[in-house]
Structure 1
């Protein structure tokens, strides 16, 4: 089964009201997952009430359109609709013989939903010849009768028998449709008379109570061409296309288009499920979050601890206390990173968070232990600030929501890199804290930070609105914890519990 987007060419007439013809084909192809292309055979002045006139451009221009497409673009399927004249039909037949597209679906447009006859007798004969070139033909009941040269069938059994005769006559798979028959049931069937006994694959259905049926034939045939180009299975393509058509009919009356037979709503189900809001890009999400915490970042820059760390005047005891708390933080932070690895949806993300967990223990802990003896770290207790930050992260990990968890982890990457990168410029050979500054301004940490930003942004862009909102909220909460963490060393002289500063502004709320 192909997983690429099928490129589907519609060769048909127009409908200025957008419900049938090429306009409907393009909507149908898009709604069913394909890339639609169009070559115009005829310009039709019609609306939901009826056809007023048909203008057929020169056949030489039709040939130029067809060649312009096939000379440049790969074609995975062709849907053929209204051809208007015998000359047009022959030109399309000749093009098919030369290009040989892999799938051809012929919707023999002879009678519009309004009842108007759309082809002359000579064109109908040429269309019968063209049917032999198709993989599937999709006539409605009156069109099936024309292809069979018989009276219009009035029962489903008669439709199936007529479809079998058409299949045998033209050597083509026929879609028999029950839409023009009376009754609540609306079956469709694939009829193949290639063997000794015709085979009938019937897909049952129920009629949708609506008069908005304009363009149903165009739309169904385009959906079939698109679905079959992917699955290579006519029965599967029919089931999927029929389900989509029923859904489009169920939403049709909401369009309120025209005073006659209104069009189906090609995107009704899709809009109902997913809406029309555009998803932000990963870069837009993370840029918005970064801007949202600009106040927190500005407060971090002004903290006495950060200023003293940058110019080297920071009290050594304050720095050691900070490193001790950071070491305690990293032990649980690495566990939360490991949880992110466990929840990661891709191998690449799993590897990234696992490597980050290992780096937090092996790399950053080594830096801390070069300043603070391990036994001192082992005897220390986490401060309220440290505990509050870890409680937020551990709670996010326990909930098992990967997207929200990685948003909570991101500030520890991004804010540390941001602070370290700017402070590292102040470093000099005699700077007492140069090893710390260089660690968080290091190129490898910069690359890890960029990768974390990309991973989290991608998760946020793919998430639903409520999840994306929750991600942004916990990102800000954890950015606030970073501010409190940097503030704690000089805000807790004597390290007495309860003397640490509260989280800034709205961040004083309890951790989730």
Structure 2
């Protein structure tokens, strides 16, 4: 039975048990941010009962690691046997292992006990840059990889496991993940946290048919914070806990990722240490909602619509180059009409903005919309046959934005505006990345259009728009914040409908 079937069957059989029993086999972090301490918090945050077997003791804090002590392997064996002889273990998360002898003992125990869910976070280098695995143990760690159901390396660890240079872009990281999954015969979680840019995607990769698809990508925004200590530990232990309940890696990732985004977005409120502090595991139990938390909350609203957009025939046809030209022409014409109305809404945002920086930003954005509209007419629509009347979806979307601009609330208006930045940037990033991954074929019917999506200026504008919206939410009343979420969600739905309109009306 394959590992995915094993965990799925186990999850069904285990449906009546409300509390997954999850064992962390990892090192100890006395500052509480990483290792077994982070694992236990993460397991508890997802409704599991956490247990821990200590593989190594570290002297560390938020500034770095100063010493590592690996207890005798006989004591490790006693810990493992004490737990498994008494407790039925639903899932295992493996973190820092230290040396080859420890790795060998953990592998022996796993092959004997055969837990239903095994998540291996191949901890090799700490966030601070400190090495946590002896170089002599790297070969032993590679031999442990096939025993796991899911491997969760960060970008540097992924490169080290393959003996390759570190990936500097998402497409390269995905290719490395595919090679590791093929080599180990299991599923690899490729994480975008170490890459640059406004987006921070994660992807489940498998080449052996263990997933419904070989590649499952889950988009997400990058959270700007220095407090990310223990992110990898927390993510892997959360996935182990949720997987014990769902038996579905995709469903588990889609549940855990929004939680992790908010844990990062609210990390600053903890104020632990002087370096890279811990994430906020129990943010959902706290009342305060800062800018980052509100942005993460909006992302949860956007994620289903973004998934729906990526599944549309229009987007798939645009990505492959097979989109019928009348549909593309209709989209361009409606985009030009939309931008004319959108520019007026942006101008209104500038008029309501409380600071000079925001006033200038929205004014420039309004001007840019008109320039882009002119560019569409001059270079695209002048040579194409396309309807010049406003389509029903375009009219409804613009009317919604105009209503938000008339509400008098700066925050509500910004929330309504934001999806045209955020979702468009996410869709554009994926389309351009797919085009580049395919080798940028010049024969692609929409090559010239896809090239325009690689616009760092627009990505930067999107980051600013998100920041201004989140800042407006902090000073808004609870009633206004609720209205902001509703306006944002409404615009997200219109974004989906706008991309689908060419299929229905062209």
TM-score interval, normalised by the smaller of the two chains: 0.5 to 0.7
Task: Show CA shifts across 1:114-163 (max 9, x none).
Answer: 11111122211111111110000000000000111101000000000000
CA contact (8 A) 2:202 2:219 kept: yes
Equivalent in 66, 73, 79 of residue 52 of structure 1: 66
* TM value normalised by structure 1: 0.52
CA contact (8 A) 2:182 2:207 kept: yes
Residue 257 (structure 2) aligns with: 242
| Equivalent-residue separation in structure 1 for 2:247 and 2:80 (angstroms) | 24
How do 1:311-460 residues align onto structure 2 when only pairs under 5 Å count?
Answer: none
| Equivalent-residue separation in structure 1 for 2:58 and 2:113 (angstroms) | 27
1:172 aligns with 2:201: no
| Equivalent-residue separation in structure 2 for 1:124 and 1:260 (angstroms) | 28
| Equivalent-residue separation in structure 2 for 1:178 and 1:215 (angstroms) | 15
| Equivalent-residue separation in structure 2 for 1:272 and 1:6 (angstroms) | 27
Equivalent in 51, 56, 59 of residue 42 of structure 1: 56
Equivalent in 168, 176, 179 of residue 162 of structure 1: 176
**Which structure: larger Rg?**
1
* TM value normalised by structure 2: 0.53
Task: Show CA shifts across 1:360-386 (max 9, x none).
Answer: xxxxxxxxxxxxxxxxxxxxxxxxxxx
Equivalent in 150, 164, 167 of residue 150 of structure 1: 164
CA contact (8 A) 1:188 1:204 kept: yes
Structure 2 residue runs without a partner (length 5+): 1-11, 290-506
Task: Show CA shifts across 1:300-356 (max 9, x none).
Answer: xxxxxxxxxxxxxxxxxxxxxxxxxxxxxxxxxxxxxxxxxxxxxxxxxxxxxxxxx
1:119 aligns with 2:149: no
Residue 97 (structure 1) aligns with: 111
Task: For residue 264 of structure 1, give the secondary structure of its aligned residue in structure 2.
Answer: coil
| Equivalent-residue separation in structure 1 for 2:286 and 2:22 (angstroms) | 22
Residue 265 (structure 1) aligns with: 280
The alpha carbon displacement at 1:273 in A equals 8.6
Matched length:
274
| Equivalent-residue separation in structure 2 for 1:273 and 1:29 (angstroms) | 22
CA contact (8 A) 1:21 1:218 kept: yes
| Equivalent-residue separation in structure 2 for 1:195 and 1:224 (angstroms) | 20
Task: For residue 132 of structure 1, give the secondary structure of its aligned residue in structure 2.
Answer: helix
| Equivalent-residue separation in structure 1 for 2:287 and 2:96 (angstroms) | 31
1:65 aligns with 2:79: yes
Larger relative contact order (C-alpha < 8 A, sep ≥ 6)? 2
1:86 aligns with 2:100: yes
Residue 421 (structure 1) aligns with: none
Task: Show CA shifts across 1:415-466 (max 9, x none).
Answer: xxxxxxxxxxxxxxxxxxxxxxxxxxxxxxxxxxxxxxxxxxxxxxxxxxxx
CA contact (8 A) 2:186 2:210 kept: no
Q: What RMSD, in angstroms, separates the aligned Cα atoms of the two structures?
A: 1.7
| Equivalent-residue separation in structure 2 for 1:132 and 1:122 (angstroms) | 19
| Equivalent-residue separation in structure 2 for 1:184 and 1:171 (angstroms) | 32
| Equivalent-residue separation in structure 2 for 1:122 and 1:98 (angstroms) | 25
1:214 aligns with 2:202: no
| Equivalent-residue separation in structure 2 for 1:15 and 1:196 (angstroms) | 34
CA contact (8 A) 1:86 1:122 kept: yes
| Equivalent-residue separation in structure 2 for 1:109 and 1:203 (angstroms) | 23
The alpha carbon displacement at 1:272 in A equals 2.8
Task: Show CA shifts across 1:177-212 (max 9, x none).
Answer: 000000010000000021599811000000112111
Task: For residue 10 of structure 1, give the secondary structure of its aligned residue in structure 2.
Answer: strand
Structure 1 consecutive aligned stretches of length 4 or more whose deviation exceeds 4 Å: 195-198
| Equivalent-residue separation in structure 1 for 2:143 and 2:207 (angstroms) | 17
How do 1:273-288 residues align onto structure 2 when only pairs under 5 Å count?
Answer: none
| Equivalent-residue separation in structure 1 for 2:121 and 2:192 (angstroms) | 15
1:14 aligns with 2:12: no
| Equivalent-residue separation in structure 2 for 1:265 and 1:45 (angstroms) | 22
| Equivalent-residue separation in structure 2 for 1:222 and 1:270 (angstroms) | 19
CA contact (8 A) 1:251 1:269 kept: no
Residue 190 (structure 1) aligns with: 204
Task: For residue 280 of structure 2, give the secondary structure of its aligned residue in structure 1.
Answer: coil
